[in-house]
Amino acid sequence: MNEKKKNPIFEILGSICTKKYDWANLPDEYKSAYNQFILNRFLSSYEYLLPLINELTVQKLTNQQHYTILYTWVKKTKHYFNYDAYKTEATDQDLIVALKKEYNIGNKEAKRYNELLNDAQRNILKTKWADYIKFVYNKKQ
């Protein structure tokens, strides 16, 4: 029989959020797959948990302590995690180069500027810096 194996992280999230198993009743497979960072990442999508998650990230806790705190504080309800919140759109590298040259800024600032521009402004910048991108920037790489 070809049964699809469930991801232990999602099962752990389920045991924290809905099933409410204490640490002693968690299967060893879940205990060995326990990852505080990943669990914090998922649970931080809930605003009411942000202060708790923020504090948990700086504490040096064992997995059992971490689980027990989450088990105690997370409301018993079905949670739907927003995976799209962690996805980022691909950036147009040519546009980033054009922004860097136009405003004499770094990568981080160029990405921020990109979010503020409309499509017409982006096209103007790319056109203005097209020769530089084609003949200078691309040769550097």
pLDDT per residue over 34-58, tens digit each? 898 988 888 887 788 888 888 888 8
Decide if 113 contacts 96 (C-beta within 8 A). no
Is the same domain home to 77 and 113?
A: no
Is residue 14 pLDDT above 90, yes or no? no
Decide if 125 contacts 133 (C-beta within 8 A). no
Split into its structural domains, the chain has a count of 2
Is the same domain home to 41 and 76?
A: yes
Q: Give the Cβ contact number of residue 115 at 10 Å.
A: 8
Is the same domain home to 100 and 35?
A: no
Higher pLDDT: 83 or 137? It is 137
Decide if 40 contacts 8 (C-beta within 8 A). no
Is the same domain home to 58 and 97?
A: no
pLDDT per residue over 81-121, tens digit each? 555 555 556 678 889 999 999 999 998 898 888 888 899 99
Is the same domain home to 13 and 62?
A: yes
Residue 98 lies in a domain: yes
Residue 2 lies in a domain: no
